[in-house]
Structure 1
Amino acid sequence: MMRFNLSLLLVVMASAFYLVHTQYESRRLYTAVDRARAASHKLESEHEQLRVLKREQATSARVQKLATGKLAMRPVTPGITQYVTMVGEGPAAVAAPAQEEKP
């Protein structure tokens, strides 16, 4: 009877250690999932901020301002348009500039 009681005690102790280990692992995994959700939320927020910034950078007024300011570009007018005619035939033809018309 004493052996039976000792074997039951060992089984109960092993079961208790397994239960504690399982609870610890569950808490660890829950914490990892919570951290992953927080990181996901942060990345989504940053992605949305970058989308807004991209939209701001691509506005036509800003592009026009950069083109005229930094690149020294100017709007196209018929007075400064240069027409190009094709010399020869086929896709390998060389383009030659036409005479510029001055008003």
Structure 2
Amino acid sequence: MNRLTFFLLAALMLCALSLVSAQHQARTLFVAVDRAQAEEKQLDIDWSRLQYQQSSLGKSSRIAEAARSQLKMTPVLPGRTQYLAGVVLETPPASEAAAAAPEGSKP
């Protein structure tokens, strides 16, 4: 009976240590999951903020104001616009066009 008691006591101690180890591992994993969820919420907030910034930076009024203030650009006025009328580009003669063509290509 002495050996049986010693064996049962040893088995009980191993089960208790195993239970403590499992509980510690479960708590560690719970803390890791909690941290991951907190990080997910923070990344979600950052993502929403970046989407808002991107939409506000892409608005035409924002771009126009940046052009006026930072680049010192002015809007186009009809009185300051110069129109070119009757501009005709001359076509080169056939001999110059053939000389300008790469060798090996056929006209």
Q: Which runs of 5+ in 1 are unaligned?
A: 93-103
| Higher normalized strand content (fraction of residues) | 1
> Per-residue deviation at 1:70?
1.8
Query: Cα distance 1:33–1:68, how it changes in 2: closer, same or farther (>3 A)?
Result: same
Q: 1:21-54 deviations in whole A, cap 9, x for unaligned?
A: 1011101101110110111111111110111012
Structure 1 stretches of 4+ with a deviation exceeding 3 A read: 74-78, 80-83, 85-89
For residue 61 of structure 1, what is the aligned residue in structure 2? Answer: 61
Question: What do you get for the CA RMSD once the two structures are aligned?
Answer: 2.7
Distance 1:55 1:48 in 2: 11
Which amino acid is 2:31 matched to? T
Secondary structure (helix, strand or coil) at the match of 1:72 reads coil
TM-score by length of 1: 0.71
Equivalent residue runs for 1:1-103 within 5 Å: 1-76=1-76, 79-80=81-82
TM-score by length of 2: 0.69
